[in-house]
Structure 1
C-alpha cells in the first residue's frame, strides 16, 4: 500500500511540476521571445518603441526567473541546503500569519539528516502550516522536532477549530503518502472544536 501511495504521489508531483512549468515559466518565456522579436523589428525604424519592448522583455525575464525559482523550491527548497532543516523551518514559521512556537534544538546540533528525510519533514511542516493559515482559525501553532533511536519525530499542532478531513483536499493525504514512501508513520488528530495535532515519525538512521 505504501509503495502504491508513493508511486501515486510521485506521479502527482511530476504532473504538478509539469503544470507549473507549462503555465508559468514556459508561458513567460514565450512572451519574452515575442517581445524580443518585436523589438528587433522596431529597432531601425522606431528605436524608442524598440526600447519599450526591451524593457518589457526585461520584466518578462525577471518574472520567468521567479517562476523557475518557485518550481525549484517545490522540488527541493534551496533553503534546506543553505540552512539545514532547523533554519528552513524557522523561515517557514516566519512566513505564517499565525504565531508559531518552534522547538528545534535537537536538529541544530550540526548533524545533518539524509536529504530525503529533511525534504520530507520540511514539506510535511510546510503543508501543515499552510493548512493552519488557511483553514484552522487558530491563534497559535507549534512545531516540534526531536530525534530518537534512528527516528526523526515531527509534531505540528494548533489551537484552531479542528475538523480537518483527509478526504476534503486539505493536503493531509499528501502528507501521509510522502511519509509512507519513506517507511514512516503519520498520526492525525483533529476532532471538531480542535485542537489539531499531526505527528510524524521518519526513519533516519543513527
Structure 2
C-alpha cells in the first residue's frame, strides 16, 4: 500500500509539473505568434532565433521531466544557433529539431490539459486513509488512474520529442567530427612530447656518446689510458641512452601492461605511489606528494582482455588522475575502481581532497578528455567545493 501511495505521489508531482508546463505552453503560443508576425519585418527577424532557443529550453525541461518519470533519457539533436543574424536565422529555420519541438508544442497544446484532471482526484483524506491502511474502493481506483495518466503523458511526450533518425545521424556526425579533431590534437601533442623526450634525453646522450668514441679513437695510439677512460664514459652514456629510450617506449605503451594486464599494471602503479613518486614518463613531470591508492576490482572478473589501445588509455588516464590528486587535491588517499560492462570498460578515480576542480586551470583533465574522446568514450567529472573529486570514464570496447 505504501509503495502504491509513493508511486501515486510521484505521478501526481509529474502531472502537476506537466500541468504547469502546459499552462506555460498556452501562454507561449502568444509569444510564438508575435515572433512569427515580427519575422515578417526586418526589425523583427532577431526574434526568431531567440524564440527557437526558448522553445528548445522548454522542450528540454519536458525531456528531463519525462526521463525522470520513465527512467529513460530522451536524446537531443540540435544545431548550434550561433554566428551572425543571417546564419542564426538559417540554422533556426532549417534545423530538424525545430520542427520536432514545434510539433510537440502544438500537440501539447491539445493534450497538455490532461494533467489537470488529476487535481480533484486527491481528496484531503486520501493520504490519511492510506497511512491508516484503510483505502476505500473509490481511492483504490483513483491511484492507478493517476499513475496511468502520468504514463500516458510521458509516452506521448517521449514519442513527440524524440529526434528523427536524420537529426540523430547529423548530430552523431558532428560529434565524431569534434572527436576526430580532439584525437588529431592529442596525437600531435603526443608526437611533440615524444620528440621533446628524444631530443632532450636519448639524442643528447647519443651525441655525447659519439663524441667520446671519437676522442677515444684519436687518443688510442698516443694515450691508451685516456682512451680507455673515454670508452668507459661512452659505455655509461650508451646505458643512459638506452634507459631514456625505455622511458619513451614506456610512455607510448608500458610493457607492464603486456606482462601483467590492466589490473596488474594499475596495482603496480598504486604500489609505486605508496612507496615513492612515479617516474616522469609515467605520471608527468613536476613535484608530487605520496599517495595511498586503493584499487578495487570487484566488478572486473577475469576474462578476455580489452584491446591494447583501450588498456593503454585506461592506464594513462589513471596515472594522470592520480598525479592530479597528488598535486592539487590536498588528500593523501585515492581510490581506483575498474569494472567490466557488456559494452566496455569503466574506470573511476576518487580522491577525498578539497574538490572544486577547474578544468580551465591546467588540471590535466583536458588531456584525459582528449585521450578518451579518441576512443569514442565519455568522461564525467564531479568535484563540488569541499570534495570529493570523482572522475568516471567509460571506454567502449568488445571483449
TM-score normalised over the length of structure 1: 0.95
Contact 1:86 1:108 in 2 (8 A): no
Contact 2:301 2:340 in 1 (8 A): no
Tell which has more relative contact order, 1 or 2 (C-alpha 8 A, sep 6+): 1
* Counterpart Cα distance in 1 of 2:335 and 2:301: 17
Shift of 1:204: 1.2
User: Which of the pair is proportionally richer in strand?
Assistant: 1
Inter-CA distance 49–165: structure 2 relative to 1 (3 Å threshold): same
1:84 aligned residue: 261
Shift of 1:159: 0.8
Contact 1:103 1:145 in 2 (8 A): yes
1:115 aligned residue: 308
* Counterpart Cα distance in 2 of 1:137 and 1:12: 28
Mapping for residues 139-150 of structure 1, pairs under 5 Å: 139-150=332-343
Contact 1:152 1:201 in 2 (8 A): yes
* Pairing partner for 1:8 from 185, 203, 208: 185
Shift of 1:103: 0.7
Which structure 2 segments of 5+ residues have no match? Answer: 1-177, 274-289
1:38 is the counterpart of 2:215: yes
Select the structure of larger CA radius of gyration: 2
Shift of 1:106: 4.2
SS in 2 for 1:104: strand
Shift of 1:124: 0.7
* Pairing partner for 1:67 from 244, 258, 262: 244
User: Which of the pair is proportionally richer in helix?
Assistant: 2
1:195 aligned residue: 388
* Counterpart Cα distance in 1 of 2:377 and 2:216: 55
* Counterpart Cα distance in 2 of 1:112 and 1:25: 33
CA RMSD of aligned residues (A): 1.3
* Counterpart Cα distance in 2 of 1:181 and 1:85: 19
Which structure 1 segments of 5+ residues have no match? Answer: none
Shift of 1:167: 1.5
* Counterpart Cα distance in 1 of 2:344 and 2:293: 24
1:19 aligned residue: 196
